[in-house]
Amino acid sequence: MRECSILLHNVVLQASSTNTWRWLLDPIHGYTVRGTYHFLTTSGTGVDRSRVDDVWHRSIPSKVSPFVWRLLRDRLPTKNNLAKRRVLQTTDMACSAGCGELETAFHLFLGCDIYSSLWLLVLHWLGISSALPGEIRHHYVQFIHMAGLPRFSHLYLQIIWFASVWVIWKERNNRIFNNVILHPSMLLEKVKLNSFLWIKSKQGAFLYSYHDRWTPPLQCMGVQ
């Protein structure tokens, strides 16, 4: 309320003037969705536009792409972010895995020994050995551009990365709201199933059935 009062302090209303709406980002052409999207994706910390566009793909469910978009900008309602918004007390920021650390986006998806163990299982399943970086955006970029793999495999790896972070987030919520805990091996099965269903629903050329269970996964991608 105080900020609103400050903004209106110097406003002088004139009875002879007509009130009109004015979009400050583009006073000449006015509001456009394109202009607003450009502002949101280029403001602040300088987001790489190619990464922003990369999360919107027809093979990705419409509810998952916005989730990843928010994750890459640290805008998910993690306990740390909720505490910053004063939704949670600072004493309620502990990771739901019970590791004793604070739940930030980095910790939840990469730093927690419980949740991040999924990445080791995913890499083992793919038959890939990699030292993944400790920053979410870099992790995303490096994962989908694995060295030595052809370019046509990037979409499959991207979908698997999306499925992995989606499964981690769903597991986190299940632990908090439903008190349900799954073994990491079960989370890997969810990654396999989700990524299979997402690809199969949009790519008719993907001939493998669910019972093939991505075995071996690189062959399903056409790498081997």
HEC-encoded secondary structure of the chain: CHHHHHHHCCCCCCCCCCCCCCCCCCCCCCCCHHHHHHHHHHCCCCCCHHHHHHCCCCCCCCCHHHHHHHHCCCCCCCHHHHHHCCCCCHHHCECCCCCCCECCHHHHHHHCCCCCHHHHHHHHHHCCCCCCCCCHHHHHHHHHCCCCCCHHHHHHHHHHHHHHHHHHHHHHHHHHHHCCCCCHHHHHHHHHHHHHHHHHHHCCCCCCCHHHCCCCHHHHCCCC
Instruction: Give residue 98's pLDDT band: very low, low, confident or very high (50, 70, 90).
Output: very high
Q: Where are the domains positioned within the chain?
A: 48-220
Instruction: Give residue 220's pLDDT band: very low, low, confident or very high (50, 70, 90).
Output: confident
- pTM for this prediction: 0.74
Could you read off the pLDDT of 125-166 as tens digits, one per residue? Answer: 988 877 777 789 989 988 988 767 788 888 889 999 999 999
Radius of gyration of the chain (CA): 22
- Rounded average pLDDT over 63-88: 93
Could you read off the pLDDT of 5-51 as tens digits, one per residue? Answer: 655 555 556 666 666 665 655 656 677 777 666 655 554 444 455 55
pLDDT, residue 44, reads 46
Instruction: Give residue 181's pLDDT band: very low, low, confident or very high (50, 70, 90).
Output: very high
